[in-house]
Amino acid sequence: MSTPTPGKPVYNVKNPFISHLARAYDLSTPEAPKHTRHYELDLTGSGLEYLPGDSLAVQPTNDPALVDDTLAALGFTGSEEVTHAKTGATVPIRQALIEGNSLTDVDNKLLKAVVEKTGGASIITDLLALEKKEELRNYLWGRFVIDILLENPSAKFEPQEFISVLKKLNIRLYSISSSQRAVGESVHLTVATVRYTSHGRTRGGVASTFLAERVTESTPIPVFVNAGKGFRLPEPEEDIPVIMCGPGTGIAPFRAFLQERQATKAKGKAWLFFGEVSASSCSFYKDEFAAWLADGTLARLDCAWSRDQAEKIYVQNKMTEAGAEFWAWLEQGAIFYVCGDASRMAVDVDKALHSLIETHGGKTPEEAAAYVVQMKADKRYRRDVY
Ligand SMILES: Cc1cc2nc3c(=O)[nH]c(=O)nc-3n(C[C@H](O)[C@H](O)[C@H](O)COP(=O)(O)OP(=O)(O)OC[C@H]3O[C@@H](n4cnc5c(N)ncnc54)[C@H](O)[C@@H]3O)c2cc1C
Ligand SMILES: NC(=O)c1ccc[n+]([C@@H]2O[C@H](COP(=O)([O-])OP(=O)(O)OC[C@H]3O[C@@H](n4cnc5c(N)ncnc54)[C@H](OP(=O)(O)O)[C@@H]3O)[C@@H](O)[C@H]2O)c1
């Protein structure tokens, strides 16, 4: 939903729409190393509109068990009154911590307060020195607010004072995995549940475990749409091929693209690269892809199952294998879309793109780089990665 329509409600961080869970199911099997789920949120009566390529901002709440452990570490009962960081209302601190503040992302204000309260005796004192940014980052990796409290028991806080040294609990973005033409007053998400153990404690990502473990059909889920600026399909009547590369949950916007292209009977052909750890545990949306292949919405599907053999096979290996055809599609004016992990996958996919342009386009590395620069200028290489 890029252009606000006159008379339509505008939803944003201050005025989110309160959606509810309509349906959810596992996309991965219990054997998968990571739990990935499909969610359908009900938007009935919201007037909320979105386009394929948009993402949904979700306002999560904290895990009450983590809140209770943190309150115990502070020596609070939970009923002490404080100001809610989001609404400004006076509420019991337990509610303020569930709804308003981050207990997983440690603010420097908390660290400074601990240093002050411990009279410099804390290990943090040294880490706050300007030149120790990297060491501080390493120290905080895998530590929550509760760890700082437990490691510094002499640092005592008043309830409101404690709230004032915490960050606000922020929204999380999720690529929308549905087209409104196909699903109407609903929005679908594809979310990997973040779970790990660090410093002897089982940890959960705030929003992904909120959706996976704490939401029922009656739980309010505040949401609003974040426009996916450059990540857009060509017009359906344009005969432009699209190549989509979305390993893991990076598949999300491409499910939306394919639903949209099926609904609009888009003219150009479509090719999807998907990658996950194993065909047996992570064949997300398998039946839907089979149906799109059967009806021509999808011309070609290449899956890279990274752990189904001794050697890792990734989406970029599949691109390289299919390099001649990939190059032919590029020369036909294809748009290349990439979604998912920015730090590793998107970098390697970019290298594979350059390499196949060199090999099949008969170009030097410099000419291939110039070709990619031109693709970007022509908006034919679009990435939604971070
Ligand atoms: C535009 C956009 C679209 C996105 N689309 C999707 C999508 O479609 N699907 C999807 O699943 N995600 C998507 N994401 C990511 C999503 O926004 C969240 O970042 C993700 O779900 C984690 O949020 P969380 O609240 O569950 O975890 P958080 O509470 O934010 O925790 C994550 C943090 O935990 C820490 N952490 C994680 N693992 C470990 C570890 N092993 N050891 C120590 N610390 C660790 C890291 O600091 C990490 O940043 C998207 C992000 C953006 C920006
Ligand atoms: N729009 C967005 O920006 C967006 C959308 C969705 C997800 N994300 C984020 O992207 C990250 C990853 O998502 P995910 O958990 O669904 O999947 P993932 O961890 O990226 O894993 C998906 C597949 O990619 C493989 N992989 C690992 N390294 C790779 C590389 N260098 N090149 C290509 N493939 C590689 C994995 O193989 P192995 O594990 O076997 O090595 C696995 O088979 C998360 O942080 C998620 O939050 C962002």
- Structural domains for the chain: 17-54+173-226 (2.40.30.10), 64-164 (1.20.990.10), 242-385 (3.40.50.80)
Would you say the CB of residue 152 lies under 6 angstroms from ligand 1? no
Would you say the CB of residue 46 lies under 6 angstroms from ligand 2? no
At 315, which helix (H) or strand (E)?
Answer: helix 315-321
Ligand 1 atom nearest residue 194's Cα: 26
User: Residue 133's pLDDT is what?
Assistant: 87
Tokens 């690529």 belong to residue: 175
Would you say the CB of residue 173 lies under 6 angstroms from ligand 1? yes
User: Residue 29's pLDDT is what?
Assistant: 98
DSSP string spanning 116-161?
A: HHTTT-STHHHHTSGGGHHHHHHHHTT--HHHHHHH-TT----HHH
Q: How far, CA to CA in Å, does 49 sit from each of 172, 173, 240, 346, 374? A: 19, 16, 25, 29, 33
Tokens 């598949």 belong to residue: 251
Residue nearest to atom 11 of ligand 1 (CA): 191
Whose atoms come closest to the Cα of 247: which ligand?
2
Distance from C-alpha of 289 to C-alpha of 298, rounded to nearest angstrom: 8
- 192 alpha carbon to ligand 1 midpoint, in Å? 8
What is the pairing mode between strands 335-340 and 381-385? parallel
- 67 alpha carbon to ligand 1 midpoint, in Å? 20
Residue nearest to atom 5 of ligand 1 (CA): 174
Distance from C-alpha of 329 to C-alpha of 241, rounded to nearest angstrom: 7
User: Residue 2's pLDDT is what?
Assistant: 46
Per-residue pLDDT tens listing for the chain (386 residues): 445 566 677 899 999 999 999 999 999 999 999 999 999 999 999 999 999 999 999 999 999 999 999 999 999 999 999 999 999 999 999 999 999 999 999 999 999 999 999 987 778 888 887 778 899 999 999 999 999 999 999 999 999 999 999 999 999 999 999 999 999 999 999 999 999 999 999 999 999 999 999 999 999 999 999 998 889 999 999 999 999 999 999 999 999 999 999 999 999 999 999 999 999 999 999 999 999 999 999 999 999 999 999 999 999 999 999 999 999 999 999 999 999 999 999 999 999 999 999 999 999 999 999 999 999 999 999 999 97
Would you say the CB of residue 27 lies under 6 angstroms from ligand 2? no
- 179 alpha carbon to ligand 1 midpoint, in Å? 23
DSSP-H helix ranges across 173-251: 180-183, 206-209
Would you say the CB of residue 138 lies under 6 angstroms from ligand 1? no
Would you say the CB of residue 208 lies under 6 angstroms from ligand 1? yes
User: Residue 4's pLDDT is what?
Assistant: 56
User: Residue 104's pLDDT is what?
Assistant: 97
Distance from C-alpha of 18 to C-alpha of 172, rounded to nearest angstrom: 15
